[in-house]
Amino acid sequence: MKILFTILLLSITMSTFAQIKVNHIAVHVSNLEESKEFYQKIVGLKEIEEPFKDGLHAWYDIGSGAALHIIEAANVPTQISKVNHLCFSMKDMDAFIKTLENTNYPFESWLGEKGKVTIRVDGIRQIYIQDPDGLWLEINDAY
């Protein structure tokens, strides 16, 4: 009976996890307007309706029904690691890199080489940029 209960519980748990999808990612920013400009003009995200209308939030469509929420608040963390990053895949990474170059927006490889692209072992190309608060974003062509 104990084994049967364990198997039943495990199968219920596994089917529950299979139903999970990303709803949104929230990012702490120090200046909403500066961050909005970055996420719209540099990253190219489309702003969507946000219900709070308090001047401290902005929401962006990031595909598959998910959203990026940027939230202005005091005390932005000061310790920033490239290991902790958001990742966006682009259809046309070459065009994105050209936009960065045309706007003099810095990008680098995983190893920190300025203006360089990393090619992963699986052939995916990736670069890293930072938002106005220093949060790392990986941009890759795994679209």
Give, in order, the Cα–Cα distances in Å from 132 to each of 2, 78, 110, 122, 135: 54, 12, 19, 30, 7
| Whether the predicted pLDDT of 2 surpasses 60 | no
The answer to whether residue 14 is domain-embedded is no
**Residue 19 falls within a domain, yes or no?**
no
Q: Is 71 helix (H, G, I), strand (E, B) or coil?
A: strand
54 located within any domain: yes
> Can you read off the two tokens belonging to residue 82?
């490239």
Indicate whether 7 belongs to any domain: no
Identify whether 105 is part of a domain: yes
Closest by CA to 139, choosing from 113, 104, 100, is 100
What is the CATH classification number for the domain harbouring 132?
Answer: 3.10.180.10
Residue with structure tokens 């990012």? 27
Q: Note whether residue 16 is domain-resident.
A: no
Q: pLDDT tens-digit profile of 73-96? A: 988 777 788 988 999 999 999 999
Strands ordered across the beta sheet of 46-48? 24-29, 67-72, 57-61, 46-48
- Distance (Å, whole) CA 97 – CA 140: 10
**CA of residue 91 relative to chain centroid, distance:** 15
Would 115 be classed as within a structural domain? yes
5 assigned to some structural domain: no
Instruction: Give the strand pairing for 118-119 and 67-72.
Output: unpaired
pLDDT digits over 100-139, tens only? Answer: 999 999 999 999 999 999 999 999 999 999 999 999 999 9
**Residue carrying structure tokens 């992963």:** 120
Question: What's this model's pTM, rounded to 2 decimal places?
Answer: 0.76
Domain count, the chain: 1
Residues whose CB falls within 8 Å of the CB of residue 36, separated by 6 or more in sequence, listed in order: 47, 58, 70
Residue 33 domain boundaries: 24-140
What is the rounded CA–CA span in Å between residue 128 and residue 113? Answer: 10
